[in-house]
Amino acid sequence: MAWYQTFLVTLVGILLVIKCTPNADCSIDPSSITERPNEDVVLRCTCRNVDVTAYSIEWCLQQQCPLQSNADYSTVVTSVDAQEKYSILTVIYAQIDDSHTYYCEVNGTIVAQADINIVEVPVTDLLPDDASITYGESTNLTCELRDSNDQLVNATGPVIWRKNNMKIIADVDNDGEVDLHLTDNQLMIIDAESADGGVYSCGLDNQILPVKDEVVIETAAKINKNYSVKATVGSKVTLTCSATGYPLASLLWKDHSGSEETDLLSSKSTSSLVFPSVKKSDDGIYQCSATNGIGETENTYITLSIDSSVWRVSPSAWTSIFSLIIMYACINYISLTSN
C-alpha cells in the first residue's frame, strides 16, 4: 500500500474515532442510593445533545460489560426524541453483594457512574398495632426495630417519636402536668386530650427509617369555647370556629334562625363565617358544630351584636358633602374677586 493510501486510511480512522467519541451530556439519577436487601434498585442514565441513531448506551459493572437483561438485571433503552436518549438499569431483588459502582457507557466510553449500597437497615414496628383511646384515658406505645427477616434488632442510637411527621418531645398540658412521657423506646400518653390524636411513628435520631407500622390514635373532637363579637353596621366581620381531635373534625355553621350557613371558609379543622358588610338583621347567636365520628357532636355559640346607633356616613354621602364644600369655596372666591 502506497504511503498516501496509508495516510488516507489513517485519516478516515481518526475522523471516525472523533465522530464516535461521545460528547453528550450524560448523567445517572440517582448518583448514589442506599437500600435494604430484597428490594429492586433502579438507575437511569440520560444523555442529551446526542444523535440517538449513532450512539448506544450500555451499563457496565467492573469486568461485566455490557450488563445483559437476565434474572439479576433488567436494562431498557428509550429514545425521547432525536437529541435525547436514556437507559434504565434495574437491579432485581438486590442483595448486599450487589453493592458496587455501576457505569454508563456511550459507544464504549464511560460517561457517568453511580453507587449502589445495599445495607441492612431496620424498619420500625409499633405496638400495639391499633390504638384508639378516649378523652382522659392513657396508653403506652412501644417502638421496635426489625431487620429484613422480621427479627428484632437493637437500636444504634436514641429513638425519636413523631406525630403527623413532626418530632415530638415531652409535652406539658394546661394544668402543668406532663401528658407525654418518653422513655427509651416507649411513649406513654397520659390523660389523653383531643389534641393528642394523630398518626404516631418512631425511628432513630438523625436517621430516616422505613416505617413498617404507624399507630393512629383517634380522639373525639373538642371545639373552642363560646365568645362574643361586637360590630357596627357596614363593617366586615369574621367569626372563627376551630376544633381539635383525630380524625379531623367536620364543622357546620347555623345562624340564629337555625338555618345552615354556606358562606364560610374552611381549612382542616378551622372554619370562618364571613360577613363582608354586616347588617342589623345579622345580629344574633351563631352555632358552630364539630364532629369526627368519635364521641358526640361538640357545639359552640358565638354572639354577634350589631350596633346601629353609631352615626355613619356612606361613601355617596361623603361625595355629596365634598361637592358642597367645593361649591361653597368657589362661590366665596367669585364673591371676593368681584368686590
What pLDDT shows up at residue 156? 66
Give domain 21-118's CATH architecture.
Answer: Sandwich (2.60)
- Ranges under pLDDT 50 in the chain: 4, 7, 9, 11-22, 172, 174-178, 262-263, 265-268, 310
User: Which CATH code fits 123-219?
Assistant: 2.60.40.10
DSSP string, 54-72: T--EEEEBTTB-SPPPSSS
Q: Is the dihedral of CA 115, 116, 117, 121 positive or negative?
A: positive
CA 263 from chain center: how many Å? Answer: 29
Intrachain domains 123-219 and 224-307 with the same fold: yes
pLDDT digits over 86-96, tens only?
888 989 888 88
User: In which region does residue 215 sit, left (phi positive, over 0), alpha (psi from -120 to 50) or beta (all else)?
Assistant: beta
What pLDDT shows up at residue 33? 87
Q: How far apart are the first and last CA of the chain?
A: 122
Global pTM value: 0.47
What pLDDT shows up at residue 43? 92
Cβ pair 139, 146 in contact under 8 A = no
What pLDDT shows up at residue 174? 46
User: Which CATH code fits 224-307?
Assistant: 2.60.40.10
What's the Cα-to-Cα distance from 87 to each of 90, 182, 212, rounded to whole Å? 10, 48, 32
Helix (H) or strand (E) holding 111: strand 109-118
Using DSSP's 3-state secondary structure scheme, residue 152 falls into: strand
The residue type at 154: N
Cell 338555618 belongs to: 259
pLDDT digits over 148-204, tens only?
677 777 766 777 788 887 887 765 454 444 466 776 678 888 887 777 888 888 777
Domain boundaries along the sequence of the chain: 21-118, 123-219, 224-307
Cell of 47: 444523555
